[in-house]
Amino acid sequence: MAATDVLKPDHAGSRKHFIFTDEHQQLRESIHNFVVKELRPHAEEWEETTFPNWVFPRMGELGFLGLTYPEEYGGQGGDYYCALVLAEEMTNANCGGLGMGIAVHTDMATPPIHLFGTEQQKQDYLVPAIKGAKIACLGITEPDAGSDVAAIKTRARKDGDEYVINGSKTYITNGHRADFIVLVTKTDDAAGYDGFTLFIVDMDLPGVIREKKLQKMGMHASDTALLAFDDVRVPESAVLGQVGKGFYHIMWELQGERMIGAAGAVAAAQNVFDRTLQYAQERHAFGRPISKFQVTRFKFAEMATKIETARQMVYTTAWRFANGEYPVREISMAKLYASRIACEVADECIQIHGGAGYMKEYNVERVWRDLRLNRIGAGTDEVMLEVIGKSYGL
Ligand SMILES: Cc1cc2nc3c(=O)[nH]c(=O)nc-3n(C[C@H](O)[C@H](O)[C@H](O)COP(=O)(O)OP(=O)(O)OC[C@H]3O[C@@H](n4cnc5c(N)ncnc54)[C@H](O)[C@@H]3O)c2cc1C
């Protein structure tokens, strides 16, 4: 550098994070184009109707449902960061319920089949799920047990070479449309944490009852079900992973679920921030754009700092996760912080929009309603605080 050169801040740089390569960037562009062209135009309609099932085979055809799964099962063989790219880009559909329905399929219900499943289970469920020919859901929560997973009452009783399942699950995303469920049950009441077992259950078996479609505050494009299991008979081959180890298996699953939830929350916050920035530059009051009031500028500065902090937490934790660590404390921190700041950002963006922020037309109130779920689903804020606190031996 010559002595006469002047260093100026680079505010317009691409800021590609070091976990991402050019291939990730290409993937990002191709998902982005698909989301903007084929999904976003339907966002309003799907808020009323829930999103249609054709989205699964279409995304399967494009390879987006198996980004991180091996090619031998029809996946793309990508690394963990590809899953983050998908979660982030799906927020551009402006349709939180759609992103959630897809994420439950790709990053919540199918990872345990890939990690713990038998070869036959992978052929029967993972392969069609990657194609989008079968839709997956995940059943942990029950009417009487959410945060306290160990308190579930759904029982699977051994009867000859079959299991008989009885119980109920609630708030199940994709529950009405799913072809199969990854189900958490208790198989041995006396065994404590070693008394849980996962099953893969076909949703068309006798005794599987899809009770009602639940009405929600947000995420309207997703379907959310109350399910009952009434003497549902499944063969031993329906056990997923080890009998008695289901609690540990599902706790592992929840870590990936929380990472994806955190990545989606940061991306959704960035999305609503960007739209609000544009609005603030165009909207005038007292003879100037509202962005020229210091108070508004400070709001953006605060929001941008929070988003950037959350993003760094998510990416650094994802890097640990992708490199074989099991960083439960950091995942919990990232999930907690990203969910909280995303809600704060959405709330502030409503404020900056004024009355327009309260109107459906601007799609800020919907983001606010949709994001509120992040502080509850996949483990509440309080559960995250418990996990973090206990990780210090408290
Ligand atoms: C739209 C939506 C979609 C969902 N999708 C799915 C799905 O696909 N599959 C699935 O299995 N579940 C799903 N869930 C369930 C979700 O994971 C649970 O709602 C969540 O884990 C909280 O459980 P709960 O609702 O029973 O709340 P509760 O456990 O009853 O908690 C109530 C309150 O008590 C607090 N609390 C509980 N325990 C403690 C504690 N130890 N210390 C301090 N505070 C505590 C909680 O933080 C919360 O504030 C979904 C939920 C929603 C709303």
Which domains are assigned to the chain?
A: 22-135 (1.10.540.10), 137-245 (2.40.110.10), 248-391 (1.20.140.10)
Computed over every residue of the chain, the mean pLDDT equals: 97
Residue nearest to atom 11 of ligand 1 (CA): 140
Residue reference for tokens 């980004």: 67
Render the burial of 116-145: b for 16+ CB within 10 Å, e for the rest: bbeeebbebbbbbbbbbebbbbbbbbbeeb
Is there an atom of ligand 1 within 6 Å of 263 CB? no
Encode pLDDT of 247-271 as tens digits.
Answer: 999 999 999 999 999 999 999 999 9
Cβ atoms of residues 55 and 102 within 8 Å: yes
Gap between the Cα atoms of 358 and 42, Å rounded: 21
235 pLDDT tier (thresholds 50, 70, 90)? very high
Is there an atom of ligand 1 within 6 Å of 214 CB? no
For a mutational test of ligand 1's pocket, the pick from 380, 382, 384, i.e. the residue with the most ligand atoms closer than 8 A to its C-beta, is 380
How do beta strands 162-173 and 155-159 pair?
antiparallel
Is there an atom of ligand 1 within 6 Å of 172 CB? yes
Distance 382 CA to ligand 1 centre (A): 10
Cβ atoms of residues 156 and 167 within 8 Å: no
DSSP classification of residue 72: G
Of 257, 330, 348, 365, the catalytic one is 257
pTM exceeding the 0.85 threshold for the entire prediction: yes
Gap between the Cα atoms of 110 and 106, Å rounded: 6
Predicted pLDDT of residue 186: 98
Mean pLDDT score, 17-31: 97
3 pLDDT tier (thresholds 50, 70, 90)? low
Question: Does the annotation count 308 as an active-site position?
Answer: no
Is there an atom of ligand 1 within 6 Å of 373 CB? yes
15 pLDDT tier (thresholds 50, 70, 90)? confident
1 pLDDT tier (thresholds 50, 70, 90)? low
Token duo for residue 133: 């020919």
Residue nearest to atom 29 of ligand 1 (CA): 147
Distance 102 CA to ligand 1 centre (A): 20
Predicted pLDDT of residue 95: 97
DSSP classification of residue 41: G
